[in-house]
Amino acid sequence: MKEVPDAIVCEGCDAVYHRVRLRRREVSHCARCGTELDRHAGDQGARVLPLTVASLILFAIANLFPIVEIELRGLSSETTLAGAVIVLGGEGMSVVALLVLATTILFPLLQLCILFYLLVPMARERRPAGFGVLVRILQSLRPWGMIEVFLLGVLVAIVKLSSLAQVVAGPALWAFMVLTVLLTAVLSFNPRTFWEMAFEPRPGQKA
C-alpha cells in the first residue's frame, strides 16, 4: 500500500484529479459531478481557536439563561433549553427529549470541546492524546449539531405565542443568535485540515 501524493478523489463520483495548490478564497469543484473537491483554508487555523473560545462562552450564556418569557393575565412562565428538555422527558416524550438534548446541547458542546482540546496543543505543533479518534468523532458529528435550526424554531415559537400572550425575549435568545453566527464560522472548519496540519510539516512521521 503506497500513498499517492497530490491526488484528490471526488467523493461524489470517484473521479481522480491532480491536486492543485489553491490561492486564497479559491474552491475547486469536480468537473463531472460538481461536488466540492478542495477549499483554501486561508488563515482559518489561526482564527478558529479564538472563535471556539467565544462560542463556548456564548454557549454557556445561551444555556444558563431563559430563552423566552411569556406573561398572561399576571401569570408568567419562562424556560431555558435544558428546562424544555426536562419537561419533555417528564411528559413521557423521552425520545424527543433525547433528540433535542443531543442536537442542540450535547453535540454542539462536544464539537466545541473537541476543537478546543485539539487546537490548543496544535498551535504549538503538538498532537494531543486521542487525536485520531477525536478528529473522527468531530467529522461524524458535523451533520447532527442543529443550533441554527433551533434558533429558527425559537423565532417561530415566539411568533406563534405572540397572539396568545405577551412574549419577552430572554438573554439566551440574543446569545443563541450570536452563537449561530460564530458556529457557522467555526464549523466551516473542515476536520480534514487537522490531518493536513498534522502531516504536512513533518512528512516522514508515522501516525
Instruction: Return d(Cα 101, Cα 99) in angstroms, integer.
Output: 5
Q: Which residues contact 28 (CB under 8 A, 6 or more apart)?
A: 8, 17, 20, 22, 36, 37, 38, 39
**Interface segment toward other proteins; rule CB under 8 A; list 50-58, 98-106, 112-120, 181-189:** 98-106
Among 58, 85, 182, 186, binds other proteins (CB under 8 A): 85
Grid cell in block for residue 160: 406563534
Among 48, 51, 62, 68, binds other proteins (CB under 8 A): 68
Grid cell in block for residue 101: 438534548
Grid cell in block for residue 71: 406573561
Q: What are phi and psi of 8, to 5 degrees?
A: -125, 130
Could you say whether residue 129 binds other proteins (CB under 8 A)?
no
Could you say whether residue 12 binds other proteins (CB under 8 A)?
yes
Could you say whether residue 171 binds other proteins (CB under 8 A)?
no
Q: Give, in degrees to the nearest 5, the angle at Cα 186 between 180 and 189.
A: 140
Q: What's the min distance (Å) between Cβ of 175 and other proteins?
A: 15
Could you say whether residue 143 binds other proteins (CB under 8 A)?
yes
Give the number of other Cβ atoms within 10 Å of residue 2's Cβ: 4
Could you say whether residue 50 binds other proteins (CB under 8 A)?
no
Taking alpha carbons only, the member of 157, 141, 147 closest to residue 189 is 141
**Interface segment toward other proteins; rule CB under 8 A; list 39-47, 48-56, 84-92, 114-122:** 84-92
Element (H, E) at 160: helix 147-162
Could you say whether residue 188 binds other proteins (CB under 8 A)?
no
Could you say whether residue 103 binds other proteins (CB under 8 A)?
yes
Q: Where do contacts with other proteins occur on this chain (CB under 8 A)?
A: 1-4, 7-9, 11-16, 31-35, 67-68, 70, 72-73, 75, 77-79, 83-88, 91, 93, 95-97, 99-100, 103-104, 132, 135-136, 139, 143, 146, 149-150, 152-154, 156-157, 159-161, 163-165, 192, 195, 199, 207
